Amino acid sequence: AQTVTQSQPEMSVQEAETVTLSCTYDTSENNYYLFWYKQPPSRQMILVIRQEAYKQQNATENRFSVNFQKAAKSFSLKISDSQLGDTAMYFCAFMKGTNAGKSTFGDGTTLTVKP
Amino acid sequence: DGGITQSPKYLFRKEGQNVTLSCEQNLNHDAMYWYRQDPGQGLRLIYYSQIVNDFQKGDIAEGYSVSREKKESFPLTVTSAQKNPTAFYLCASKGGFSAGGPLGGEQFFGPGTRLTVL
C-alpha cells in the first residue's frame, strides 16, 4: 500500500515571499502520478499541479513549481511570490499510473500568507 | 459548463435516521469517489466506483452505502450504523490519463456537503 506524508501541519509566509511545502511518499510502483491540491477556506478542492513519475523535468504552473526527487520519494511544492489568495490547506496525493484506482492523500499542510 | 455538483450544501440529521447525499457530474468521467473530511484533517476514502454498476469499499466504509446506476450519479447514504457521521463530505470524479495531455488522472471535486447530526 502507498503512504503519503506531509510533515508540516502548519506553515506561514509573508506576502511576496517564497515558501516550500514538503511531501514524501512510499511506493513500490514505478509508474505513478503525484498531485498537489489546494483547499481554500471555501473548501472547494482544486488541482494546483501534477507530475508524472516518468518525467524527469519538474512540473511548473506559473508561481507554483515542484521539486520531484524520485529516488528519494520526495515531492515538494514551491510557491513563489506568495499572495493572500494562496492561504489554504494543501494536500499532496499519489495515484498509480493506470486509468483505474484511487488516490492516496497526505494529511495536509495549512498555509497562511500574511500581509 | 462541465462540473461536479453536490447537494445539499448543509444537511442535518437526527440520530437513527438514514440520509442520502447527492453527487452528479457531467464530465463523462468513469470513476467517482466519496471522501470524508473531519475538521483540520485530510481526506479519508469511503467508497469509490470505477464503472457503472460497480463500486469498492474505501478505508472507512462501515456505516455507509453507495450505488452507481448511472455514469453521472454516485449517491452516498449515511446509515444509522455510522456512529459519528458529523463531517464534511466531498465527492470527486476522475477522467482517464491521456498520453502527453496536460490534464488527466487528477480528481475534480464537488463543493461538498456539511452533515451535522442533531
Q: How far apart are the C-alpha atoms of B11 and B7, rounded to whole Å? A: 9
Which residues are registered as beta bridge partners of A83?
none
DSSP label of B102 = S
Q: Does residue B42 contact residue B90 with C-beta atoms inside 8 Å?
A: no
Q: What is the pLDDT of residues A14-63, one digit of tens each?
A: 999 999 999 999 998 888 899 999 999 999 999 999 998 888 899 999 99
Which residues are registered as beta bridge partners of B57?
B47
Residue B64 to chain A, least CA–CA distance (Å)? 18
Which of A64, A99, A107, A109 should be substituted to probe chain B, the one whose Cβ sees the most B Cβ atoms within 10 Å? A99
Is A102 within 8 Å of B45 when comparing Cβ atoms? yes
Q: What is the pLDDT of residues B4-57, one digit of tens each?
A: 999 999 999 888 899 999 999 999 988 999 999 998 788 999 999 988 999 999
Helix (H) or strand (E) run with residue B100 in it: none
Given pLDDT bands bounded at 50, 70 and 90, which one contains residue B70?
very high
Which residues on A lie below 8 Å from B112 (Cβ)?
Answer: 43-44
Is A103 within 8 Å of B96 when comparing Cβ atoms? no
Which of B107, B108, B115 should be substituted to probe chain A, the one whose Cβ sees the most A Cβ atoms within 10 Å? B107
Q: Does residue B48 contact residue B34 with C-beta atoms inside 8 Å?
A: yes
Q: Does residue B42 contact residue A107 with C-beta atoms inside 8 Å?
A: yes
Q: How far apart are the C-alpha atoms of B74 and B86, rounded to whole Å? A: 20
DSSP label of A47 = E
Q: What share of chain A is helix, strand, coil (3-state, %, to 5)?
A: 5, 55, 45
Which residues on A lie below 8 Å from B43 (Cβ)?
Answer: 91, 105
End-to-end CA distance of chain A: give it in Å, rounded: 41
Q: How far apart are the C-alpha atoms of A70 and A30, rounded to whole Å? A: 9
Question: For chain A, what is the mean pLDDT?
Answer: 93
Q: How far apart are the C-alpha atoms of B85 and B111, rounded to whole Å? A: 18
Residue B1 to chain A, least CA–CA distance (Å)? 16
Which of A79-93, A96-110, B31-45, B52-66 has the least mean pLDDT?
A: A96-110
Within B1-118, residue ranges assigned H as helices are none
